[in-house]
Chains A and B, each alone.
Chain A
Amino acid sequence: MESLQKKEKTAVLQGNEACSQGALYAGCRFFAGYPITPSTEIIEMMSGAMQAAGGHFIQMEDEIGSACAIIGARWGGVKSMTATSGPGYTLMQESIGYAAVTETPIVIVDVQRGGPSTGQPTLSSQQDIYQARYGSHGDYEIIVLAPSSVQEMYDFTIKAFELAERFRTPVILLSDEEIGHMREKVVLQPGTENIHEGKKKYVVSPQADFFQGAWTTVEGQLHDDEGKRIGHLPQKSGDFIENICSKITDHIDEISSVRTYQMEDADIAVLAYGSVARPAMNAINLARGIKDDRGATPFRFLKEIKKRGVGEALRTDYSKLKVGLIKVNSVWPFPDEQIREAAKNCSLVIVPEMNIGKYSREVERCLGGQGTKVVSMSKCGGDLHTPNEILDRILEEVKVDE
């Protein structure tokens, strides 16, 4: 694998490959991992890429060790990452909590598969959405990005490193099997970038990397700015928790990324993240009568005729539906303001998810106050929602409303 190219280039890559390329560009030079489907391509690519680029790679004995090793390496001054899937991600929770409390910037990629337990190694899901947010014990805030294309897998990996360094926090790239194994066109940046954010006031823990004579104490107990434990002091401990949480929640505007599509006049929105945002966008296109350039619409129309009969299919004038898409890129911290703003004219928000409908609860909490009806459209089993399924749901809901 060519590790660092000289100029911008376009390639057709798998999502997992794009993630490795993104990490390389972002200056990641340490990768510790353990093979697990469907994330294995990342460790495979990183093993060669890290060492060829002057970095380091180690295949650890388990995911617990992998997550520990990248934290160790980061204190050694090297930007580091690991990648895994659901079962391994569960094992890493311990270290994610440690990274949160010690304010260590690391990036962890979770290429989700179906769970619980060994679950569905080869099929996709979005079931880890809550684990990504609440996985480790105790109170902490975390940044989670959910890519929905191979390009985003590349871009968000870079962004994950930027955010991790800026906020000195673990950042989770919450991908899934669909995106990880999908091949798409992707634009790759030339060279490499070494993100340095410098000392930030809102960080409460020691920040100096090791071996600089700074005598840094990295402490997993709650601690003060010198690393001295304060876990036995309720007042100081409370302030510490507030601090590590508010450094994220006070900067949601800097972190959050919410994209909208056809939302200008929409009164119905589909809110989606990760791979489900793709069929959701197609559903919007179908609903609005927007033809994509692949000429698939006539084919779909034929299918519609087959499904509903000629008369019914002709009578359905989707284009009268004012439907738009709200695509959440930064799923955690929950971008309340941005979602409220995007959905301010909507009476109905449909949330398709590849789980039992977890994120929709957050959306309901967020939009319930402004009288918007939030409908969860969950789908478990490993298959993505099809655009028509989403469209049907929209039609069903509209009919109910009318």
Chain B
Amino acid sequence: MNDLYAKYIKKEALPTLFCPGCGNGIVQYAAIEAFEKLGIRNDTACVSGIGCSSWIPCYFKMDVMHTTHGRAIAFAEGLKIAQPDKNIVVFSGDGDCLAIGGNHLLHACARNIDITVIMINNMIYGMTGGQKSPATPTGAKTHTSPYGAADVPMKGSELAMTIGASYVARWTTAHPVQLEKAIEEGIKHKGFSFIEVLSQCPVQAGKNVFKEKDPVKIMEMFKEQTYVWHEGDPEQPGKTKIGLLKKDDDAIEYIDRVNNVLRENGIER
């Protein structure tokens, strides 16, 4: 077993419930690598909701809260406000974060509260067996869109940026080094950090959504269909931009804003 993996993962809980070739394991490794580099293991709590990707932190030898479907961000906000000096990292999927938890995401972004949300976007409801998610591409046949999905997929990163998240990055599982750096940066950033990870689901999304069942080929497809964007770069139509999409260091964080208001009223904390 990998040394870092052995240090952070509960051996007795193995095997992970991820299918062979699942992208969640890659995100899992990137996250523990980031925690290790920052040396924040005991000052960090991981919160997750329901879905395949929400199982990522459940194997961590850390403080972990595995909550109800869509509510991870709401739990995380309570935890953060109670312990403002600690780091809270939320692991969520596209269905968990954008569908059932959409309202919590909007408001946490708008507050710019200092938590880091890693949204693993595999464009499908994997755990329940392959139903359409808010991020499923138009036309994709799933168990709940047998004639092809009619909806236009939601863009999580763009949504978060627009509504007020001050750090937004998008990477794919084919970019593990950049992803790890983004998680590090997101945790260090004071404010709401939203990191979207395009991830392969070879089993449930494979054939119908990606037209490909091989995890390696899906990752190659991610590389082909995305381009690394830098501030000022022109947009490439038909491709998804990845990279650091927004970093606003001037945006004031929620708890700071609350404390500022209190200080103006003579209440020191």
Contacts and interface: CB of A to CB of B under 8 A. Distances in A.
* Touch A–B, Cβ below 8 Å: yes
Interface of A: 30, 32, 51-52, 54, 56, 58, 60-62, 64-65, 68-78, 80, 94-95, 98, 210-211, 213-221, 227-229
A214 B107 CA distance: 31
A224 B12 CA distance: 13
Contact of A65 (B10, B43, B74, B269): B74
Contacts of A215: 61-64
A373 B47 CA distance: 52
B67 A220 contact: yes
15 contacts: A32-B78, A58-B77, A61-B107, A64-B71, A68-B71, A69-B74, A69-B78, A69-B81, A75-B45, A210-B83, A211-B42, A211-B63, A215-B61, A217-B58, A228-B13
A94 B81 contact: no
Contacts of A54: 269
A72 B75 contact: yes
B71 A73 contact: no
Contacts of A51: 258, 262, 267
B42 A60 contact: no
B78 A30 contact: yes
B163 interface: no
Contact of B67 (A58, A68, A80, A229): A68
Query: What are the 5 A-B residue pairs with the smallest beta carbon separation, nearest first?
Result: A72-B78, A76-B82, A69-B78, A68-B74, A72-B79
Contact of B74 (A60, A75, A77, A221): A60
Contact of B79 (A60, A210, A217): A210
Residue of A30, A52, A213, A220 ringed by the most chain B CB atoms within 10 A: A220
A62 B102 CA distance: 12
B78 A76 contact: yes
A105 to B, nearest CB: 14
Contacts of A77: 82-83
Secondary structure dominating the interface of B? helix
B64 A218 contact: yes
B76 interface: yes
A30 B77 CA distance: 12
B68 A72 contact: no
B103 interface: yes
A213 to B, nearest CB: 5
A98 B67 contact: yes
B65 interface: yes
B81 A58 contact: yes
B107 A60 contact: yes
Given A62-B103, A77-B83, A72 B76 contact: yes
Most buried by A among B61, B75, B80, B269: B75
Contact of A68 (B13, B68, B82): B68
Contact of A30 (B45, B81, B267): B81
Contacts of B267: 51-52
B39 to A, nearest CB: 14
Given A65-B107, A210-B45, A219-B58, A70 B63 contact: no
Given A65-B104, A68-B71, A75 B86 contact: no
A61 B83 contact: no
A46 to B, nearest CB: 14
Contacts of B86: 76, 210-211
A216 B46 CA distance: 11
Contact of B78 (A64, A70, A220): A70
A69 B67 contact: no
A72 B47 contact: yes
Contacts of B262: 51
Contacts of A214: 63
Given A72-B74, A75-B65, A76-B80, 16 more contacts: A51-B262, A54-B269, A60-B74, A61-B103, A64-B71, A65-B74, A65-B107, A68-B68, A72-B75, A72-B78, A74-B78, A76-B79, A210-B79, A215-B64, A217-B58, A219-B58
A283 B74 CA distance: 47
A228 B12 contact: yes
